[in-house]
Amino acid sequence: MAITGRRRGTVGAWGEARAAAHLEALGWQVLDRNWRCRQGEIDLVVRDPEGTVVLVEVKTRSGLGYGHPLESITRAKQAKLRELAIRWWREHRGTRRVRVDAIGVLRTRDGVHLTHVRGVA
């Protein structure tokens, strides 16, 4: 069954919270959540321990019926993420190093599984 409407937003927000908690546990600092501009939205803006600002796309699913969450990050989505990264960087010129990562959050009967891929766009 597809997740639609309000439930999709609830599942997405839940996944973003899990991703943020995971990154914070690794010593990363959350700078912003759901940063928006005319072109779209960046789920999480974080700083890693080395000082790189990382723009994070979070994809959440409640099963594998439609594949792994990260499979939904197509070439078109990667291009959109690059566009958003450029827009974010232009608004935050003092930032020297910026990277785009993705985190897939999969909720199954066995628990929650996170997959972090660095440098997706």
Residue 46 contacts residue 23 (beta carbons within 8 Å) = yes
Q: What is the pLDDT of residues 20-71, one digit of tens each?
A: 999 999 999 999 999 999 999 999 999 999 999 999 999 999 888 888 999 9
**pTM assigned to the model:** 0.89
pLDDT at 20: 98
Domains identified in the chain and CATH numbers:
5-117 (3.40.1350.10)
Rounded CA separation 92/111 (Å): 37
In angstroms, what CA-CA distances link 33 with 16, 30, 42, 54?
9, 8, 7, 12
Tokens standing for residue 89: 């960087």
